[in-house]
Amino acid sequence: MSRNYVRKTEKIDPERGDALTLNKDDIEGLFTPTYPVKLRHAILDALLGWFVGADVPTLTDPSANMVLQMLINRQRKKVKSYLEICNSRSIKKGKDGATYVGTSRDKTPHVPNINRSKEELDMTKGISNSSVGDGASRANAAPPTPLSEKEAKKFLAMNAPQISTLPEMRANGKPTMRCSQLLSADVDDAVELVGNELFGDDRDESTCTTFDEPIAEMTRRMEAIGKEAVFRKVLVKAMVDSDDDEVDNPAAFVMARCKKGEAAIMALNKR
């Protein structure tokens, strides 16, 4: 994931984006045995043509045209959301003189979390002298914690609440912009948002390798089994809980929590 957001966003088509994203639920109906192959080809051909620069097409078949317009509109919304996330970050200069974008850690008053486990705190204290990125790497390298079904249920009950219910994600009784971004962002962008919150001005290219990429891999594994939404809750709750004086290395704390979250989800998914 590039840190050069300013240059990247300047090159992105504000309507189409630079990456076409298709959700499985949106297109799997096109590949059922009963769906006409001719219409499927027409929809996908028109969608790809629009994506590379053609005007918005209209198909003669009403049902096929409805699917096409839905796919186009969803792509537009994803691009709009992505650009809003990028543009909401503060601009700073990197050591190489390039313009980068990042955020300082939001200092919203934190509600202490009584559910932090001794295991998580011990892990972050054990690597508190490491750089934030190196600490995350060491936390990621630690062997996963085996969980029983009972332990997995308890862990998720405590550490995977609805994101919009967290006090840190609300202001004046309503979800904050940060909350909306974390909920609506695509997988990689959500992980990036969390990374920017954790690293703040210490954000550099190496944190992509040590933090973003391992977390994103976990998220994609969860997405593959239909549990990405649950894992996203674990990730955001971990980000919130890491903003505590007892946590010496927030990145390592989040990594350890996410690893345990993945183990919990997998333990229940094997039933």
Question: For 40-98, how does the pLDDT look when each residue is reduced to its tens digit (9 = 90+)?
Answer: 999 999 999 999 989 888 999 988 899 999 899 888 888 887 777 666 544 444 444 44
Q: Using an 8 Å Cβ cutoff, are 255 and 140 in contact? A: yes
Same domain, 19 and 66: yes
Q: How far apart are CA 89 and CA 103, in angstroms?
A: 5
Q: How far apart are CA 249 and CA 12, in angstroms?
A: 35
What does the DSSP 8-state code read for residue 110? P
Choosing from 64, 87, 110, the residue where a domain stops is 87
Compute φ and ψ for 100, nearest 5 degrees: -120, 170
Same domain, 68 and 122: no
Choosing from 87, 106, 126, the residue where a domain stops is 87
**Any domain includes 261:** yes
**Any domain includes 209:** yes
Same domain, 143 and 81: no
**Any domain includes 243:** yes
Same domain, 138 and 236: yes
Query: Between residues 104 and 189, which one has the greater pLDDT?
Result: 189
Average pLDDT of the residues of the chain: 78
Same domain, 159 and 27: no
**Any domain includes 108:** no
At residue 196 the predicted structure's pLDDT band, cuts being 50, 70 and 90, is: confident
**Any domain includes 155:** yes
Same domain, 153 and 32: no
Tokens (6 digits) for 236: 């955001």
Same domain, 56 and 175: no
Q: In whole angstroms, how far apart are CA 36 and each of 42, 48, 61?
A: 10, 19, 11
Whether 155 has a pLDDT exceeding 50, the answer reads yes
Q: Name the β-bridge partners of 91.
A: 101
Share of the chain above pLDDT 70, in %: 72
Q: For residue 96, what is the enclosing H or E element?
A: none
Same domain, 126 and 241: yes
**Any domain includes 92:** no
Same domain, 60 and 163: no
Tell me what the mean pLDDT of segment 102-111 comes to: 44
According to the model, what pLDDT value does residue 23 have? 78
**Any domain includes 95:** no
Q: In whole angstroms, how far apart are CA 19 and each of 52, 87, 220, 247?
A: 10, 18, 17, 37
Same domain, 82 and 123: no
Q: How many domains does the chain have?
A: 2
Instruction: Give 244's contacts (C-beta < 8 A, 6+ positions apart).
Output: 110, 112, 113, 116
According to the model, what pLDDT value does residue 26 have? 78
Which residue range(s) make up the domain with 252? 118-269
Whether 32 has a pLDDT exceeding 70, the answer reads yes
What's the half-sphere exposure (Cβ side, CA atoms, 13 Å) at 241? Answer: 26
Same domain, 83 and 131: no
**Any domain includes 125:** yes
Same domain, 252 and 202: yes
